[in-house]
């Protein structure tokens, strides 16, 4: 729509004065959808206002070609610029919602959908594919180093011991878990380095650093040098956990960010499986050092592919190099990309850069009532993710299966890694069909049931003196599968979806810190807990996952396919009266000005 002088006017100037309920009622009347939201009185009130608006401002012709710049900019401003596993369904649903709203405001039919123009046409070019392949070497290495000490644990403890005695249990737990302290350090120093030297150079330096750290690890002569090497490897992997999702999100079109996030997660679990598979042939007293050194292969490949990695267009925009940013973006999108799409992406990057210049700290998030609950949800889900005990499986599964007297602990460990890979792929389809909230509840309940099954099998096997090893393995496999369906990917996805552009980086950074610390605690405590509780060592995880079921059901909002405003409406528990509805609408409009700035609201029509 346009004013008398021909200028475009944001729809929020009109919609905020009417309220979300009246808009939905009119949309119901026009399309016949959402019959539960019918409100004849509200429709009448809105129609009288809408008629006056149309008398003042001529409606855009329905047959004219839709202007996709504004709806696409709206999508780009709301979708996190990270490659997050499980985000693809959210992007598609939100894009459809924004597209329908655009058509509804123009009184166009649904046959004129903007979706093919807004995101559907964007594919993966050769340049983008090469850059993605090079970047994914890092998460493969990350996963490999998570699990590489699992299978050859006994061999390495014997080799690194002194005076003929193997490394003690608690000392070995420090060697395993100190990787997470390194990850915490690396994820903390990575953001300023990424902004200073750029994404491309950071990944090169990180790959070189990781190569030397892995070689140092393979040459360790005692438990102290091994612990130091694991710390250094963890620092590099912590940098990877920040740099790769950020880089992939900044070079990918919005339609592929979720898919590349899934590839990032898939690469990590493939690395875990590879370490588990190689654990037996290379985990001998003569070859265990080669098993550790093998991880350097992936970082060396990344170094050689450095020339194929383009700099992030977003970073170039941040550093006032718009011409280079445009050139790089054209390389990534292909020569046949429309000029308007390129310009909208560049404008959105510039707008996001301006917004993120605003100072935002964890203290600011906690003190702000609008951000306090989303922040608490994100941090709490990270605690549930790690304290569900998943890394106890990946760190110590071989030793656990040996203690449970399973016939082939190596087979149990490899099966665990294989199920982890398969479940990661299946989780994408599940997240496309079900909501975040339902999957969190299902995942947590399934993990609790699996842990109970595992505990019952362990106890029965011990008390009745029968071999229930395969039931125990099935319990562990189900435990891992249910984790990947919900508690694995969703805490990361939902934390990115609960915040606007200004707060998102701070919130996700704090959530990442909590995640690393919680993982360190599990890695350090589980061996002692296994010794103290014996067959009942998974019962604490049952308690954590059951609490997660209750928390997810009653506290976590559904975010799938919703804009930030819609999520906040649900978190505010939509009131019943029109007066309260108008108050909520006003608060949300104020929050949009805070989150996106006055020129980047979620409606641009």
The pair of three-digit structure tokens given for residue 550, joined into one six-digit string: 């209750």
Q: According to the model, what pLDDT value does residue 286 have?
A: 93
Q: Give pLDDT, residue 213.
A: 97
Question: Model pTM?
Answer: 0.77
C-alpha closest to that of 255 among 431, 116, 370: 116
CA distances from 227 to 207, 234, 363 (A): 20, 10, 34
Is 71:118 a contact under the CB 8 Å cutoff? yes
What's the pLDDT score for residue 74?
Answer: 58
Per mean pLDDT, which range of 108-122, 214-228, 354-368 is the poorest?
108-122
Residue 347 has pLDDT above 80, yes or no: no
Give me 465's structure tokens.
């003196």
Q: Which residue has the tokens 């329908």?
A: 100
pLDDT of 208: 97
Q: Are 502 and 358 in contact (CB under 8 A)?
A: yes
Pairwise CA distance, residues 238 & 308, whole Å = 23
**143 has a pLDDT exceeding 60:** yes
Domains of the chain: 12-74+84-120 (no CATH), 128-310 (1.20.1250.20), 360-571 (1.20.1250.20)
Question: Can you name the residues that pair with 165 across neighbouring β-strands?
Answer: 162
Per-residue model confidence as pLDDT tens digits over 6-57:
444 444 443 343 344 444 444 444 444 444 443 434 434 434 434 443 344 3
Q: pLDDT tens digit string along 526-536?
A: 999 988 998 89
489 CB-near residues (< 8 Å, 6+ apart): 84, 85, 86, 265, 424, 427, 431
pLDDT tens string 406-425: 778 888 899 999 999 999 88
Q: What tens digit of pLDDT does each residue of 310-341 get?
A: 998 889 988 888 889 888 888 887 766 566 67
**With 0-12 CB in 10 A as exposed, 13-18 as middle and 19+ as buried, what is 30?**
exposed
* pLDDT confidence bin for 387, thresholds 50/70/90: very high
The token pair at 71 is: 């709806």
- CB atoms inside a 10 Å sphere around CB 574: 13
DSSP one-letter code for 105: H
Q: Which of 128-137, 199-208, 329-338, 377-386 has the lowest mean pLDDT?
A: 329-338
Structure tokens at 385: 């993710």
Q: What percent of the chain has pLDDT over 90?
A: 37
HEC states along 369-384? Answer: HHHHHHHHHHHHHHHH
């Amino acid at each position: 729509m346009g004013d008398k002088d021909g200028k475009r006017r944001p729809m929020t100037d009109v919609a905020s004065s009417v309220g979300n309920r009246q808009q939905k009622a009119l949309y119901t009347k026009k399309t016949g959808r959402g019959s539960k939201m019918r409100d004849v009185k509200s429709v009448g009130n809105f129609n009288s206002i809408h008629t006056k608006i149309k008398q003042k401002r001529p409606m855009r012709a329905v047959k004219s070609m839709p202007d996709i710049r504004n709806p696409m900019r709206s999508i780009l401003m709301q979708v996190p610029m990270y490659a997050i596993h499980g985000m693809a369904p959210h992007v598609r649903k939100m894009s459809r919602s924004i597209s329908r709203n655009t058509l509804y405001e123009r009184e166009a039919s649904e046959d004129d959908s903007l979706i093919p123009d807004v995101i559907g046409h964007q594919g993966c070019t050769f340049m983008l594919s090469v850059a993605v392949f090079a970047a994914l070497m890092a998460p493969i290495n990350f996963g490999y180093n998570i699990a590489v000490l699992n299978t050859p644990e006994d061999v390495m403890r014997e080799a690194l011991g002194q005076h003929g005695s193997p490394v003690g249990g608690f000392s070995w737990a420090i060697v395993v878990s100190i990787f997470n302290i390194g990850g915490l350090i690396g994820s903390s120093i990575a953001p300023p380095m990424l902004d200073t030297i750029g994404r491309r150079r950071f990944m090169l330096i990180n790959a070189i650093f990781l190569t030397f750290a892995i070689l140092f690890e393979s040459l360790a002569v005692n438990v102290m040098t091994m612990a130091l090497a694991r710390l250094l490897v963890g620092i590099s992997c912590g940098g990877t956990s920040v740099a790769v999702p950020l880089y992939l999100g900044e070079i990918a079109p919005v339609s592929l960010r979720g898919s590349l996030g899934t590839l990032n997660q898939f690469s990590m679990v493939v690395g875990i499986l590879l370490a588990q598979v190689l654990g037996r042939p290379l985990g001998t007293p003569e070859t265990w050092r080669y098993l550790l050194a093998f991880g350097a292969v992936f970082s060396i490949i990344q170094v050689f592919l450095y020339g194929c990695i383009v700099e992030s267009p977003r970073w170039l925009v941040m550093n006032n190099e718009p011409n280079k940013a445009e050139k790089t973006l054209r390389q990534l999108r292909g020569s046949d990309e429309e000029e308007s799409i390129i310009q909208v992406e560049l404008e959105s990057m510039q707008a996001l850069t301006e917004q993120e210049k605003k100072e935002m700290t964890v203290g600011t998030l906690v003190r702000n009532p609008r951000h306090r609950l989303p922040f608490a949800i994100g941090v709490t889900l990270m605690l549930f993710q790690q304290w569900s005990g998943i890394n106890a499986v990946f760190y110590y599964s071989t030793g656990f299966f040996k203690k449970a007297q399973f016939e082939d602990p190596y087979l149990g460990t490899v099966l665990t890694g294989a199920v982890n890979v398969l479940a990661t792929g299946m989780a994408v389809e599940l997240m496309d069909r079900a909501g975040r909230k339902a999957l969190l509840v299902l995942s947590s309940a399934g993990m609790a049931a699996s842990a109970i099954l595992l505990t019952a099998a362990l106890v029965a096997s011990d008390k009745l003196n029968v071999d229930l090893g395969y039931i125990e393995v099935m319990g562990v496999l189900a435990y891992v599968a249910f984790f990947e369906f919900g508690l694995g990917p969703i805490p990361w996805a939902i934390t990115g979806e609960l915040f606007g552009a200004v707060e998102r980086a701070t919130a996700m950074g704090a959530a990442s810190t909590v995640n690393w610390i919680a993982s360190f605690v599990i890695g350090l405590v589980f061996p002692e807990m296994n010794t103290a509780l014996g067959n009942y060592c998974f019962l604490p995880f049952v308690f954590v996952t059951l609490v997660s079921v209750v928390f997810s059901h009653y506290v976590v909002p559904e975010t799938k396919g919703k804009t930030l405003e819609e999520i906040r409406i649900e978190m505010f528990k939509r009131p019943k009266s029109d007066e309260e509805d108008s108050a909520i609408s006003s608060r949300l409009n104020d929050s949009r000005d805070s989150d996106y700035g006055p020129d980047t609201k979620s409606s641009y029509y």
